[in-house]
Amino acid sequence: MALTGIEIFKLLPKTNCKKCGFTTCLAFAMKVAQGQAEIEQCPEASEGVIAKLKEAATPPIKGIIFGPKKIL
């Protein structure tokens, strides 16, 4: 299940440092939730927060490939 912008914002350091290219951490969190920014753009986010957000963004079911497997 995808996280909302507010849920992402709660995990961020809330420094409003603008190093990510956005004016506030809330604006950045909203863009991450919409898929228009990557969490790695926040230099202040801890490795734990980045891992947690990536895990939350991962689909719960892996995709299935139909047909013969191509070997390159």
More confident site: 17 or 65: 17
Q: Is residue 25 part of a domain?
A: yes
The number of folded domains in the chain is 1
Dump pLDDT digits (tens) for 22-69. Answer: 999 999 999 998 989 999 999 999 999 899 888 877 767 767 778 777
Q: Is residue 16 part of a domain?
A: yes
Q: Is residue 72 part of a domain?
A: no
Tokens in use for 58? 């991962």
Reply yes or no on whether the pLDDT at 2 is more than 80. no
Q: From the CB of residue 69, how many other CB atoms can be counted at a distance below 10 Å?
A: 5
27/1 Cα distance (integer angstroms):
21
CATH code of the domain covering residue 41: 1.10.15.40
pLDDT band at 70 (very low <50, low <70, confident <90, very high): low
22-45 b/e with 16+ CB inside 10 Å = b?
bebbbbbbbbbbeeebebeebeeb
Determine the structural domain holding residue 34 and report its residue range.
Answer: 5-57
pLDDT band at 16 (very low <50, low <70, confident <90, very high): very high
Q: Is residue 64 part of a domain?
A: no
